[in-house]
């Protein structure tokens, strides 16, 4: 009985969300993502000479270290990576890798759970973040409560979404922030309604 109630609630919520954003102009799909490699996921995120907040920076089953998001962003010219993940082993790995492979490394890797908006805004303020990558498995919804004024220095953002309601809310949130979607990629594998949105400040 409980599972039926949850399913009914889920469908009602989907219907409500679609009605709420029925007038929203949705970005067309421009590319397909075929693997977990960062060169496919995050290639449109502008990171050059920027401090990048990498939310969900773990290894995520990527076999080539250069295709992990922190290393990929650093090799693309990021000034500094602020990497956040719950996996202590991955955080320790990146701390060691960056010390050994990047001169004058100022990057920071933190074991931290993102569960509310303040968790993100505190990091943005403390490290003067200019670019954000977000892949935190459903907790992306905490972005919706961030005010435009809290993103003064942020000029580029990429977010992986896992359902259609999250996709619609992200597009609406980007609009409210004064950001324009420059790329919308979807997965060629896994569940439907998964993809990555990248947006730049207008």
Mean pLDDT within 9-33: 70
* Residue recorded with tokens 């998001």: 69
Task: Note whether 168 and 21 are within 8 A (CB).
Answer: yes
Task: Note whether 156 and 129 are within 8 A (CB).
Answer: no
Counting Cα atoms < 13 Å in the Cβ hemisphere of 87 gives: 14
Residue-wise pLDDT for 158-184, tens only, equals 999 999 999 999 999 999 999 999 999
> Average pLDDT, whole number, for the chain?
90
User: Of 166, 165, 170, 195, whose CA–CA distance to 181 is shortest?
Assistant: 170
pLDDT at 12 over 60: no
- The b-or-e profile of 36-69 (16+ CB within 10 A means b, else e) is bbbebbbbbbbbeebbbbbbbbbbbebeeeebbb
Confidence of residue 5 (pLDDT cuts 50, 70, 90): very low
Q: Which residue ranges form the domains of the chain, and what is each CATH number? A: 28-201 (3.40.50.150)
Residue-wise pLDDT for 124-148, tens only, equals 999 999 999 999 987 889 999 999 9
Q: What share of the chain is helix, strand, coil (3-state, %, to 5)?
A: 40, 20, 35
Residue-wise pLDDT for 22-35, tens only, equals 679 899 999 999 99
| pLDDT value, residue 11 | 42
Mean pLDDT within 2-21: 50
Cα(184)–Cα(32) distance, integer angstroms: 9
Residue-wise pLDDT for 36-49, tens only, equals 999 999 999 999 99
* Cα dihedral 130/138/183/121 (nearest 10): -20
User: Of 55, 56, 61, whose CA–CA distance to 35 is shortest?
Assistant: 61
Q: Coil, strand or helix: which one is 153?
A: coil
Task: Note whether 11 and 174 are within 8 A (CB).
Answer: no
pLDDT at 10 over 50: no
Q: Sign of dihedral through CA atoms 58, 64, 69, 75?
A: positive
pLDDT at 21 over 80: no
- The b-or-e profile of 125-162 (16+ CB within 10 A means b, else e) is eebebbbbbbbbeebbebbeebeeeebeebbbbbbbbb
Task: Note whether 57 and 90 are within 8 A (CB).
Answer: yes
pLDDT at 18 over 90: no
Residue-wise pLDDT for 109-119, tens only, equals 999 999 999 99
């Amino acid at each position: 009985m409980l599972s039926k109630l949850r399913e009914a609630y889920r469908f009602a919520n989907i219907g409500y969300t679609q009605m709420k954003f029925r007038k929203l102009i949705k970005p067309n799909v421009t590319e397909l993502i075929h693997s977990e490699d960062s060169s496919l996921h995050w290639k449109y995120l502008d990171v050059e000479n920027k401090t990048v907040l990498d939310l969900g920076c773990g290894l995520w089953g990527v076999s080539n270290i250069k295709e992990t998001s922190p290393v990929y962003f650093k090799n693309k010219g990021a000034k500094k990576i602020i990497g956040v993940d719950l996996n202590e082993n991955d955080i320790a790995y990146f701390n060691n890798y960056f010390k050994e492979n990047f001169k004058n490394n100022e990057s920071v890797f933190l074991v931290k759970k993102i569960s509310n908006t303040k968790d993100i805004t505190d990091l943005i303020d403390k490290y003067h973040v200019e670019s954000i990558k977000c892949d935190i498995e459903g907790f992306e919804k905490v972005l919706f409560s961030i005010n435009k004024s809290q993103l003064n220095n942020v000029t580029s953002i990429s977010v992986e979404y896992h359902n259609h309601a999250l996709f619609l809310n992200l597009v609406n949130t980007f609009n409210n922030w004064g950001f324009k979607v420059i790329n919308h990629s979807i997965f060629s594998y896994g569940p439907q309604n998964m993809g990555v949105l990248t947006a730049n400040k207008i």
